[in-house]
Amino acid sequence: MRTVIALLLAGGACSRADVYPISGAADGDAGGASDGGGGGGGGDSPVCPAAALSAGDTERKVTVAGATRTYVLHVPSSYDGRKAVPLIVDFHGIGESDASERTSSPYPAVVDREGVIMAFPDGLRGPAGTGWNVGPCCVADVDDVAFARAVVAQVQTIACVDRARVYAVGVLTGGGMAHYVACRAADVFAAAAPAAFDLLQENVNDCTPSRAITVISFRGTAADSRVPYGGGASSLVPGMPITFLGAQATFAAWARIDGCQGSPSVADANGCSSYAGCRDAAEVILCTEQGGHEDPGDATVAWPVLSRHAL
C-alpha cells in the first residue's frame, strides 16, 4: 500500500475525497479526490492521521482518469487510529453493488475484532449489470486495476493502514477481479482470496505478477453454477464470451506462476489443498466445497492465510 508515493507518481495531491454516509446525508467536505496510478515500494512506515475515523460505513468518492467512482468504507468499532491495521478490498459479484457486498460479505464478522478496515468498490454497468473489467469480460473500456489502486491510495490518506498488508477478495466477477489484481497489482496487494471464478484462457498468459503472490481460491462443484468447476466456454455476459480454465487448472496455473514445486497436498477437512515450495514463501491453495454453489468463500479459512503474508 503506497498512499503518498502513489499519489506523487500520479502527479496528484493528497486531498480528501467526498464522503457521504450510506443514508445519503453529507458527512465530510466536498473536495478533490485522489488520483489513480501505480503504487510505490512497500515497507514504508505509515503516518497515522491525527484524527481517527469514526466507526461505521460511509460511501466515498475517488476520481480515476477523470471519472468519479465510489466505494463503501467500513471502519469497525475496534479501530482506534493509533496503530496500523490491514486493509481488505472486497469486490462484489455481477449485478451487485458496493452496498450489497458490504451486507453479504463474510469478512467483517471475522476481521472486525482485529480493527481491520475494509473497502467495497462499486463496479460499473456492463451487459449483465454492474461488474468488472477482467480482460475479455465483463465491462468494457474501464481500467478497474487503476480504480483498485486509487481506492487503496485514498484509504491510506485517511486511515492508519499497514502498507504491507492489503488484501483482495471477491465473489463471481468480484473473484475474477481478485485474480486480476493479483496478476497486475502484486506491488499493492499482498495476497488474494477469489471465490466462484477462475483465471481465463483468453488472458492467463498475461498474468505476470511482479512477485510471487499468495492466492487462496474457493470453488464449489455444483453442476448448475455459472462458473463450472471443470471450466469451459461461458456466455455469462452477453457479447463477451470467455473460457474458464476451471478450478483445478487455475490452481495449477497459480502454482506455475508462483514457481511452486511438486504436487499439491491431499485436501484437508475444509476441502483445501495446497502447493508447497513456492517462491518467496507464497502459498497457492484451492478450497473445494462439494456441491457448493457461488459462495463468497469461508473467511474463517481465508483470513488466517491472508494475514500471514505481507509485502
pLDDT computed for residue 36 by the predictor? 34
Whole-model pTM over 0.85: yes
Average pLDDT over residues 225-238: 92
From the CB of residue 230, how many other CB atoms can be counted at a distance below 10 Å? 12
pLDDT in tens, 139-163: 999 999 999 999 999 999 999 999 9
| Of 310, 276, 60, 34, the residue nearest 157 (C-alpha) | 34
* pLDDT-derived band at 44, boundaries 50, 70, 90: low
78 pLDDT higher than 80: yes
SS3 of 136-186: the string is CCCCCCCCHHHHHHHHHHHHHHHCCEEEEEEEEEEECHHHHHHHHHHHHCC
12-32 average pLDDT score: 33
Using an 8 Å Cβ cutoff, are 126 and 134 in contact?
A: no
Residue 33 has pLDDT above 70, yes or no: no
pLDDT of 32 higher than 90: no
Q: Identify the CATH assignment for 3-307 out of 3.40.720.10, 3.40.50.2000, 3.40.640.10, 3.40.50.1820.
A: 3.40.50.1820
DSSP three-state, residue 35 = coil
CB 227 within 8 A of CB 244: yes
* 230 pLDDT more than 50: yes
pLDDT of residue 140: 95
Mean pLDDT of 46-57: 90
- Residue 200's contacts (CB-CB under 8 Å, 6 or more residues apart) are 134, 135, 136, 137, 176, 242, 243, 244, 245
